[in-house]
Chain A
Amino acid sequence: MSRLLLPVLTFFLFVFEGTVMQLFVPEMFGEHYIVVPRFALVIILFIACFQKRSTALWYGMIFGLLMDVVYTDYLGVYLFVFGFTAYVIASIAAVSRKNVWTVVCLIVLGLTMQAFQIFGLYTIIGIAQMSAETFIQRMLWPTLVLNVIVSLLLYYPLQKHFRTMAAQKAIAET
C-alpha cells in the first residue's frame, strides 16, 4: 500500500497541474505573471533528496516522458530535463544533511535548473520567444514562490512517509 503511494501521488499531481490549477492560475496571479505549477517535479525532487539516485532518475524520466507526450509537441525535452535534474539533485543530496531548509534549497535549485533548461531548449527549437530578463521576472520568480509553498506544505507528511518506508525496509532485511 505504502509502496503505491508515491507513484499515485505523483501521477495525481501531474494530472492536477493541467486540470485544476489551470482554472485558478490566471485568476489568482493576473495576466502579468506567468505561474507554472510543477508539483510532480517537486515530488520527484523529494524522492531525489530522500531515496536512491536511480529511483529519482526513473521517476524523472517517466514523468518527463508523460509530460512530453500529453502536453507538448516535442518528445524528449522534458524526458531529458526532468531526468537530468533529478539525477543532479540526488547526487548533491547524497552528500548533504537533510533538514527542511536544505531540502527546500535543493528543490529551489532543481526547479531553477529545470526552468532554465526548458527555456534554453525551447529557445533553440524556437517556440520560446522571450528575453531571458522577461523570463526571469515574469515567470521564474512567481513559479518558484508557488512551488516552494507547496513543497513546504508537503515536507512533513512526505518525510514521515519516507521514514516509515525506510523502517519497513530495515525490518524486512533483518
Chain B
Amino acid sequence: MPPFFSNKRLVILLASVIILVALIGYSMQDRKNQSFPEQFLQDTVGFFQSVVSTPTHMITSLFGSIEDIKEVYVQNKKLKQHLEDYAEIVSEVKRLRERNKELQQVLNKSQSPSLADYHVRQARVIARSPDHWNQKVIINKGSTAGIEQNMAVIAANGMIGKISSVGPFTSTVQLISSKQRTNFIPAMIQTDEGKKDLYGLVKGYNQEKNRLRLTLLPVDVSLEKGQTVVTSGLGGMFPQGLVIGHVTSVKIDSEGLSKIAFVKPSADLYDFYNVMVIERMAKSVSSNPAKKDDQ
C-alpha cells in the first residue's frame, strides 16, 4: 500500500498551497492584459469551441425556428396594431433628429462625439463558463477585430456585460451578474420630463431573485417601479443610454445614507447567441493614453 501522505508529500502539498495563493494573488491584480501563454491557450481552445458550437447552434436554432412558427400568427396580429403607431414615431424621430442637428450646429458641438455615440461590432458567443461561479462568456472576436478591454457588450434586449480580457481571436465577456469586485457599471435612472435624472452605480447581483443592485442613490428621491435604468456614460468606459433593466423595488441601505434600487436586467443572461460589442466614441479620461493621442 502506498503511503497516503508521507513527510515528503506533505511538504510538496504545503508548497503547492503556497503557490496556489501566490497565483491567485497574481491574477487578482487589476491586470491590463493577459500574458502571452494565457492568450495562446485561450485562443487555441477557442478555436475548438467555435468548431463545436457553430453546428450545435445551427441545429438548436432550426428547432427553435420550428417552434417560433407556431407563435408567428399571434405575434403578427399584435405587430400590425403597433405598425400604425410606428409611422407616427418615425416621423417624429426624424423631425427631432433634424432639430437636434440644427441646435448642435448652433452650439458648434457637432465636432466632438457626444457621450452617447458608439460604434458597433457584431460577434457570436462560442462558449460559456460551465461552473456557475464564473459568469463569463467567450465570443469569437478578438483584438484583430478591434476589440479592447472594458468595452460594453449588449444583446438584443439590453446590456449583458463588458469585455474582461482580449486575445487575438477570442475575448471574454464578464456578465453583469458576475460577483467580481471590479464589476460595476455607472448608471442612471431615466425620469419623466422636467425632473433630474438620478445617477448611481450598478454593483452586485442577487442570484436567487435575478436582480441587480443599483446603489448610491440619494435617500430623499422617490423612485417608481418600472423606471428604466440605462448606462450613464460617466465611468469613462461605456457610452450613454445602453438599457440595463427596470426598477422593481427600492430599499434604504444598511447605513441609512442612500437608497438601493433592485433592477431586473432586461436582457436574458442565459439565452443569447449574437451579441454586439460597443466601442464608445467619446474620449475617455483613463486607460488608453496612446490612443487618445492618435485622435
* Chain A residues with a Cβ under 8 A of chain B: 11, 14-23, 26, 31, 34, 36-38, 53, 66, 69-77, 79-80, 83-84, 91, 94-95, 118, 121-122, 125-130, 134, 139
15 sample A-B contacts, Cβ–Cβ < 8 Å, listed by A number = A15-B127, A16-B52, A19-B127, A22-B127, A22-B128, A23-B57, A26-B271, A36-B131, A72-B129, A72-B131, A79-B23, A84-B16, A126-B179, A127-B133, A129-B207
Which residues of the other chain, A, contact B65 by a CB distance below 8 angstroms?
none
> Are A73 and B23 in contact (CB-based, < 8 A)?
no
Which residues of the other chain, A, contact B271 by a CB distance below 8 angstroms?
26
**Contacts A23-B57, A126-B181, A127-B180 given: A71-B129 contact, CB under 8 Å?**
yes
Interface residues of B in 162-183 (CB under 8 A from A): 164, 174, 178-181
Interface residues of B in 129-145 (CB under 8 A from A): 129-134, 136, 138
Asked whether B270 is an interface residue with its Cβ less than 8 Å from the other chain, the reply is: yes
> Are A72 and B134 in contact (CB-based, < 8 A)?
yes
Least CB distance from A13 to B in Å reads: 11
**Contacts A70-B138, A76-B23 given: A95-B1 contact, CB under 8 Å?**
yes
How many Å lie between the Cα of A79 and that of B210 in the bound state?
31
How many Å lie between the Cα of A8 and that of B16 in the bound state?
27
**Contacts A19-B56, A127-B180 given: A118-B131 contact, CB under 8 Å?**
yes
Sorted nearest first, the 4 A-B pairs with minimum C-beta distance are A76-B23, A18-B127, A71-B129, A19-B53
> Which residue of chain A has its CB nearest to the CB of B1?
A95
* Chain B residues with a Cβ under 8 A of chain A: 1-2, 4, 13, 16-17, 19-20, 22-24, 26-28, 38, 41-42, 45-46, 48-49, 52-53, 56-57, 60, 126-134, 136, 138, 164, 174, 178-181, 207-208, 210, 270-271
> Are A80 and B20 in contact (CB-based, < 8 A)?
yes
Least CB distance from B32 to A in Å reads: 14
How many Å lie between the Cα of A37 and that of B210 in the bound state?
22
Least CB distance from A84 to B in Å reads: 8
Partner of B1, one of A38, A53, A94: A94
How many Å lie between the Cα of A79 and that of B20 in the bound state?
8
How many Å lie between the Cα of A98 and that of B138 in the bound state?
39
> Are B56 and A20 in contact (CB-based, < 8 A)?
yes
Q: Given contacts A18-B127, A22-B128, list 12 more A-B pairs with CB under 8 A.
A: A15-B45, A16-B52, A18-B128, A23-B57, A26-B271, A36-B131, A69-B41, A71-B130, A76-B22, A80-B20, A121-B24, A125-B28
Which residues of the other chain, B, contact A66 by a CB distance below 8 angstroms?
41, 45
How many Å lie between the Cα of A75 and that of B19 in the bound state?
10
**Contacts A18-B130, A139-B132 given: A70-B207 contact, CB under 8 Å?**
no
> Are B53 and A125 in contact (CB-based, < 8 A)?
no
How many Å lie between the Cα of A37 and that of B132 in the bound state?
10
> Are B131 and A71 in contact (CB-based, < 8 A)?
yes
Which residues of the other chain, B, contact A126 by a CB distance below 8 angstroms?
179, 181
> Which residue of chain A has its CB nearest to the CB of B16?
A80
How many Å lie between the Cα of A14 and that of B131 in the bound state?
12
Partner of A34, one of B27, B45, B132: B132
Least CB distance from B243 to A in Å reads: 22
> Are A75 and B52 in contact (CB-based, < 8 A)?
no
> Which residue of chain A has its CB nearest to the CB of B41?
A69
Least CB distance from B254 to A in Å reads: 16
How many Å lie between the Cα of A53 and that of B2 in the bound state?
10
**Contacts A74-B27, A75-B26, A76-B24 given: A19-B134 contact, CB under 8 Å?**
no
Least CB distance from A129 to B in Å reads: 6
Partner of A19, one of B23, B42, B126: B126
